[in-house]
Amino acid sequence: MSRAAIQRLAGAAVLLALAGLWQLASILFPYESAPGEPMVPGWQIIVTHTFLELADYWPGGFGVNAVAQGGARTYAGAALAVLSNSWDTSLRLYAGLALGAAVGLSAGLAVSWSKWSRRLVALPAQILRTFPMMALIPMFQLWFGATFLGMTLFVAFAVGVIFFTGTVNAVGNVADVYVDCARTQGASRFQIYRSIILPAMFPELRSSILLSLGMAWTAVIAAEFLGAQTGLGQIIVFSQYFGYVDRMFVVALFLLLYAAITYALFERLSRRLTEWMPRDHGLGGRDGAR
């Protein structure tokens, strides 16, 4: 068996073992957070009841009545609840990601144009990077409300800061020799930016992008934890008040799935952009001899 296959098998085995440990914990710790709600719900509960219970979060429509108004729990209701809340969360995420990336990248490129602006901005940007982002959510809610706009803007801000500092650093790290070589061939400033700086900075920017994918998911979940009306994060927090750990678990699994999809999408997209890269690591340190 190939190395990769062994690793995948081992990974699956470990996850199965974790699931088994969870089941063991549910037996060893039968404490309840609320009457009838175990703290560590076993898989038998999760698989049978929990999905159906998610129908509670469907506010009614499409011919399915809301449970809160006396309707029965149906699979259709549950599916609708999951779909609509997934949609809300994902929209906030991708909108914030796109906005933050665009603004952060442009601002970073603009600032890097001149050596002076780069130096002026370096220290404030560095401080912004170490800022405790999540603590700012209440401010964003005060400014924009716990609405789609407010949450998307927060995601955009968190992502934008990473992109901005990442871009400025990446541009600064483009090897001088490439820029000099382009200059001696008569390239204009704009041509240098487009054909040299942008491709040369991509390997380094890649790590910023991966970081911001994680940050975006954290930001949108955090924002939904604090007073959103809809969304998967909101369901988790709402369930937490009542101690419905099983519901929290299922919704969390959905979230993890969506996050994994985001990473996979990025891998696909970046593959084309990086076909020129050497296999082991990116640029820097090469001096012509192999």
Instruction: Tell me which residues in 101-130 interact with another protein (CB under 8 A).
Output: 116, 119-124, 126-127, 129-130
Q: Is 193 in the site for another protein (CB under 8 A)?
A: no
Minimum Å gap between C-beta 173 and another protein is 8
**What is the pattern of x (binds another protein, CB under 8 A) and - over residues 11-50?**
x--xx--x--------------x-----x-----------
How deeply is 96 buried, as exposed, middle or buried, from its count of CB atoms within 10 A (0-12, 13-18, 19+)?
buried
Long-range residue pairs from 106-115, CB within 8 A, at least 24 positions apart, any chain = 107/160, 107/164, 107/167, 108/163, 108/164, 108/165, 108/166, 108/167, 108/168, 108/171, 109/167, 109/171, 109/193, 109/197, 111/164, 111/168, 112/167, 112/168, 112/171, 112/172, 112/197, 113/193
Q: Is 52 in the site for another protein (CB under 8 A)?
A: no
Options 50-58, 75-83, 98-106, 279-287: segment touching another protein (CB under 8 A)? 279-287
Element (H, E) at 280: none
The distance of Cα 18 from the centroid of its chain, to the nearest Å, equals 24
Q: Is 263 in the site for another protein (CB under 8 A)?
A: yes
Minimum Å gap between C-beta 118 and another protein is 9
Options 55-63, 101-109, 148-156, 199-207: segment touching another protein (CB under 8 A)? 199-207
Distance CA 58, CA 86 (A): 12
Q: Is 195 in the site for another protein (CB under 8 A)?
A: yes
Minimum Å gap between C-beta 180 and another protein is 6
Q: What amino acid is encoded at 244 in this protein?
A: Y
State which of residues 64, 159, 170, 196 lies at the interface with another protein (CB under 8 A). Answer: 196
Q: Which is nearer to another protein, 63 or 290 (CB)?
A: 290
Options 42-50, 77-85, 148-156, 177-185: segment touching another protein (CB under 8 A)? 177-185
Minimum Å gap between C-beta 123 and another protein is 3
Max Cα separation, the chain? 77
Decide: 59 and 237 in contact? Cβ < 8 Å.
no
Of residues 53-112, which lie at the interface with another protein (CB under 8 A)?
Answer: none
Q: Which whole-number Å values give the CA distances from 4 to 13, 15, 151, in the listed order?
A: 14, 17, 40
Token couple for 97: 């990601």
Q: What amino acid is encoded at 7 in this protein?
A: Q
Q: Which is nearer to another protein, 70 or 287 (CB)?
A: 287
Token couple for 228: 């959103």
Of residues 146-175, which lie at the interface with another protein (CB under 8 A)?
Answer: 173, 175
Q: Is 261 in the site for another protein (CB under 8 A)?
A: no
Token couple for 4: 């990769």
Q: Which is nearer to another protein, 99 or 252 (CB)?
A: 252
Minimum Å gap between C-beta 53 and another protein is 16
